[in-house]
Amino acid sequence: MALTTIDLKPRVGSQIDTDRATLLSGSVAAKIRALLVQRGVVIVRGVEMNDAQQRAFTRTLGDLRLGTVKKEGEEGLMKVTFDKKENPAYAEFFPGTFFWHMDGTYEEIPPFATVLTPRVLSPSGGQTEFANNYAAFEDLPESEKAFLEKLQVVHTMQASQLPATPGATVEQFALWHSYPVRTHPLVWTHKSGRKSLVLSTSASHVAGMHPVESHALLQRLMSWATQPQYVYQHSWQMNDLLIWDNTGTMHRVLPYHMECGRRLHRFTLNGEEAVVGVTRQ
Ligand SMILES: [Fe+2]
C-alpha cells in the first residue's frame, strides 16, 4: 500500500501517515525499513499502542532484542526514565543520554533500530534530537573522507558516562569498566552501500593517534555532524511512535526536570551487521 510520507527536514526525518492496524499487519514494514536507512528517523503521530502492540509492531521490522549485556526484562521492554522504581537497572545510565550518542557501541554488532513511544511527557524540555551520520559523512571533502576511512576509534562506557557524571565515584568507574571496550572503524560501510560516521560520546580516542590530535579530531567531527542541517528535533506528543536507525544516526535528549516522571517505552531491534570499514584492494 502507498504510504504518505512527509520529509521533516531536508536531510533527516520522515513522517508517515498510517494507522495502528496497518502497522501491526506488517504490510508497511519493508517500506519503513527502507525509509529508516534513507532518512534516519521515521515518525507516526496519533497511533495509540499498548506495550504488547508496540512489541508486536517492533517484531514486524526485525529481530526483537530480548536481552543483551544486561537483561532488558519484560520481553524486551525498556522504560526510559530516571525513576529508579520503574527502571532500577538502567536509570543511573540515562544522564549519558543528554549527550550525542549511538546505542550499543560497546557491542560488536550495535542495535539496528529502536521503537519509542511516550507514556509520561515532561512538562517542558525533553525533546529528542537525531543527527544523520550518513549525510554528515557524505558532505565531507573527498580527501578528508579518504583519511577518516583509515581510522579506528576506541569506544568505552567511561567516555560515554563521564561528561554527564563528572563527579563519578570509584564504584561508578568500576561499573563502567565492567563493560567491554570496543574498537570500531570511524567510517561504516553498510550492507546498503551507504557510509556513515561512527561517532558517539562513547568515542574515547582514535587508535594510534596522539591524544591531543585525537581529541581535536573527534570534537571537530562531532561539531560537524550535529550542525542544524543534519539534525531533527522531535517534540513529543502522546501517541507518537518514533523509529530510528541506530546504525546511521546519533541521538540525545534535551534537558528536562529529572524528577518529573517522564517515561518513554522502547523496544529495540538487534543489529544485522558488524561495523565494517572500507576494505581496500
Ligand atoms: Fe540512547
Q: How much is the pLDDT for 215?
A: 98
Q: How much is the pLDDT for 192?
A: 87
Q: What is the whole-number distance in angstroms between the Cα of residue 149 and the centre of ligand 1?
A: 25
Q: What is the whole-number distance in angstroms between the Cα of residue 197 and the centre of ligand 1?
A: 17
Contact 242, 128 (CB under 8 A): yes
Greater confidence (3 vs 34) lies with 34
Q: pLDDT band at 281, cuts 50/70/90?
A: very low
Distance CA(28)–CA(32), nearest Å, equals 6
Q: What is the whole-number distance in angstroms between the Cα of residue 97 and the centre of ligand 1?
A: 6
Is the pLDDT confidence value at 280 over 50? no
Is the pLDDT confidence value at 261 over 80? yes
Q: How much is the pLDDT for 1?
A: 58
Q: How much is the pLDDT for 8?
A: 97
Q: What is the whole-number distance in angstroms between the Cα of residue 108 and the centre of ligand 1?
A: 17
Q: What is the whole-number distance in angstroms between the Cα of residue 93 and the centre of ligand 1?
A: 10
Is the pLDDT confidence value at 232 over 80? yes
Mean pLDDT of the chain: 93
Q: Is 216 helix (H, G, I), strand (E, B) or coil?
A: helix
Q: What is the whole-number distance in angstroms between the Cα of residue 143 and the centre of ligand 1?
A: 31
Q: What is the whole-number distance in angstroms between the Cα of residue 252 and the centre of ligand 1?
A: 7
- Cell digits for 97? 543520554
Mean pLDDT of 231-252: 98
The number of beta carbons lying within 10 Å of the beta carbon of residue 174 is: 10
Q: pLDDT band at 201, cuts 50/70/90?
A: very high
Greater confidence (69 vs 129) lies with 129
> Residue 245: which of 268, 266, 276 has the closest Cα?
268
Cα distances (Å, whole numbers) of residue 103 to 4, 112, 271: 29, 9, 11
Greater confidence (53 vs 91) lies with 53
Q: How much is the pLDDT for 87?
A: 77
Q: How much is the pLDDT for 69?
A: 46
| Distant-in-sequence, close-in-space partners of 12: CB < 8 Å, separation ≥ 6 | 39, 40, 41, 130, 131, 132, 135, 230, 231, 232, 249
- Say what the pTM is: 0.93
Q: How much is the pLDDT for 68?
A: 53
Q: What is the whole-number distance in angstroms between the Cα of residue 31 and the centre of ligand 1?
A: 24
Ion ligand 1 nearby residues (CB, 5 A): 103
Q: What is the pLDDT of residues 54-104, one digit of tens each?
A: 999 999 999 999 865 455 566 889 899 888 888 777 777 788 899 999 999
Q: What is the whole-number distance in angstroms between the Cα of residue 187 and the centre of ligand 1?
A: 20
